[in-house]
Chain A
Amino acid sequence: GESVGLHLPTLSVQEGDNSIINCAYSNSASDYFIWYKQESGKGPQFIIDIRSNMDKRQGQRVTVLLNKTVKHLSLQIAATQPGDSAVYFCTGHGNQFYFGTGTSLTVIP
């Protein structure tokens, strides 16, 4: 079946450094991907999305890279801030959205 997962369950970075969160997916038919951020006690919040006809998309302080050859996504956060501490999910859309297990990002002041 389909699966979307994340490489590392936890990641700690120093404030001001760049963060890279990785994600792998199994369904070659997935053509749309979204990264969500979930803070404690809240629902997931949209960060950025990318379609399969693109390999890179940039937002404010965030960049998503898509490598369809190896079925891999990454979320890059520039100049990580304490407010970036959260669990990050990548979701892939085949017939429905599948959430991975998430990476918990901790920003060290």
Chain B
Amino acid sequence: EAGVAQSPRYKIIEKRQSVAFWCNPISGHATLYWYQQILGQGPKLLIQFQNNGVVDDSQLPKDRFSAERLKGVDSTLKIQPAKLEDSAVYLCASSFRLAGVRTDTQYFGPGTRLTVL
């Protein structure tokens, strides 16, 4: 079974530039998550999708971050404009059912390491 795919793996940009990350979840997984992991910290949930609808985006900085999952499969996360503090690893995860069912395991991709200069 193929895992969660993410691209690019690494990205270096200057502050105020824009960047986009792509995620392809495990086939059949309805729930998709984007996390931000700052060096030395645990992952922090940015947004959670159930199919193509947003379940939770309470921690997404909506003035600069946006995410979409138009067809309920792939997803993109965009930052515009980027700030120095956005330097982090952006992880995508997927699970078979909504995590609220409490039996779901999240499968994580390898992440995209973003450096903002």
Q: List 9 A-B contacts (CB under 8 A).
A: A32-B102, A34-B106, A42-B111, A43-B108, A44-B91, A44-B108, A46-B106, A101-B40, A101-B41
> Does any Cβ of B come within 8 Å of A96's Cβ?
yes
> Does any Cβ of B come within 8 Å of A51's Cβ?
yes
Q: Which of B41, B42, B48, B91 contacts A96 (CB 8 A)?
A: B48
Chain B interface, >50% SS class? loop
Within 8 A of A (CB), among B48-89: 48, 56
CB distance from A87 to the nearest CB of B (A): 9
Within 8 A of B (CB), among A46-87: 46, 49, 51
| Other contacts beyond A34-B105, A95-B100: 12, CB < 8 A | A36-B108, A41-B110, A42-B110, A43-B108, A43-B109, A43-B110, A44-B91, A44-B108, A51-B102, A93-B99, A97-B99, A101-B41
CA distance A103 to B109 in the complex (A): 21
Residues of B within 8 A of A46 (CB): 105-107
Which residues of B come within 8 Å of A, CB atoms? 4, 40-45, 48, 56, 91, 93, 99-100, 102-103, 105-111
Which residues of A come within 8 Å of B, CB atoms? 31-32, 34, 36, 41-46, 49, 51, 89, 93, 95-97, 99-102
Residues of A within 8 A of B48 (CB): 96
Q: Are B109 and A102 in contact (CB under 8 A)?
A: no
Look across to chain B and name the residue whose beta carbon is closest to the beta carbon of A87.
B42
Residues of A within 8 A of B106 (CB): 34, 44, 46, 97
Q: Name which of A45, A97, A102 has the most chain B CB atoms within 10 A of its CB.
A: A97
